[in-house]
Amino acid sequence: MSRRRLMFAGAGVAAAATAPMAAAGTASAETAVNPANIPDGAPLIAVNNPSTRWNPAQRVNQDTSTTLQGIAFDSVNGHLYTLQIAGASQVAYLKSGTQVAITPSISGNQHDPSGDLCLTRHDLDGNVLGYMYLLGFGHGVSLGIEPATASAPAYVWTEANAARSGYGQEIVRFPFTDGTVLWTSHPAVQRLASPDPAATSMTPYVDAARGILLLRYALNGVHWFAAYNLAAARTASADGSALPTPLARIQQPFLPKADANGAPTTTAATFQGFASHGRYVYMLDGDSRTSDPSQPLSGVDKWTVHTTSMDLNGVLNDPATGYILRTHSEADASANPREPEGMAVYTGPEGLRLCFGITNNSPTGTRQFDLYYKV
């Protein structure tokens, strides 16, 4: 079993979305009651709508030797940001760069457990516009972007302090600075207080259009979402103060794998990303295909990729499942290896789009991805 599957298998322990936190004796900074204070106004995107590829196909990141992990948009300026595990080809750069922060003992295959990431900025046509290296930050499942302005660069929210576990144990914010290397103790990195003293495996998403910071984290064997006012969280990260009271806090529902007939099993799906817009959060899960990409999707491959919607306020969620709607996707049926990776909401001139990535490598093994969206 892969390290990622081990990390998220624990989410299957609790199938009820409203179950209270267990584990007696573990300190908690917040109650399990959902404040349910995210304002209405953002439309709900139907996850069962058709998926459309955002051309061009087979986009590449700064490094082409590792797979896409997370995505986020600066919709104001027409930029797509992606995270990936730092590849073997980047080791020489990191060791020879002016901001050396990598030890001689770290080789290419150690970037993943060390939490070393490559952050790439693209335009919407897929061209690479810049990059950063983030050493010891995490796995890169999700990230958030505050759009650049005439007087300030884009600010990036990510996990950090992987502590050689491969997954971040805190949330940080820093300015995007092309061609630079950051490590978790770098002066440019601002830290956010933890949402709970016992929280681990934290990842962020920024709903810039609605001014919300959404955190996902593990606690006592299950995962939680907590939404905060973005401006207040930004202040807290800058001056080291405590997090504001959450606008909403809700347990992630159990997301099951499907069998060859599409029926849900008791095995937890592989979580691959999330995004939010207003009170709604969207989740992506799935695995790589097991069949020949030249053949039609069949069996478990037909049902492996799922998108799910949930109401962070808890009002519209089905009491039995804990979410609004869950559906499988057959997008990019001929992609290889067709692993879903990363989810983000775009709010620019093209209109509201719920986007997700699917890996579609070249025949020679170059790591590439396709960007799909639902409206």
Give the pLDDT of residue 110: 63
Can you give the pLDDT at residue 135?
A: 86
User: Cα Rg for the chain, rounded, in angstroms?
Assistant: 19
Q: Distance between CA 130 and CA 156 in Å, rounded?
A: 13
Collapsed DSSP state (helix, strand, coil) of residue 330: coil
- The single-letter DSSP state of residue 39 is P
> Does residue 56 have a cis peptide bond before it, meaning omega lies within 30 degrees of 0?
yes
With a CB cutoff of 8 Å and minimum separation 6, the contacts of 72 are 80, 81, 142, 143, 144, 145, 205, 206, 344
Q: How much is the pLDDT for 180?
A: 86
pLDDT at 356: 98
**Strand (E) or helix (H) holding 248:** strand 248-251
Q: What is the CB neighbour count within 10 angstroms for residue 334?
A: 13
Which CA distances in Å does 17 have to 12, 48, 120, 209, 318? 11, 21, 35, 27, 9
Q: Tell me which residue of 187, 188, 216 sits closest to 200, measured CA to CA.
A: 216
Partners of 311 in the β-ladder: 280
Q: For residues 275-291, b (16+ Cβ closer than 10 Å) or e, as one string?
A: bbbbbbbbbbbbbebee
Instruction: Report DSSP letters for 94-114, one per residue.
Output: HHHSSS----TT--GGGHHHH
The encoded tokens of residue 355 equal: 């986007």
- Residue 345 Rama label (left phi>0; alpha psi -120 to 50; beta): beta
Tokens of 375: 């409206």
Length of the chain: 375
Residues in the chain predicted with pLDDT less than 70, given as ranges, are: 1-32, 88-110, 164
pLDDT attached to residue 89? 56
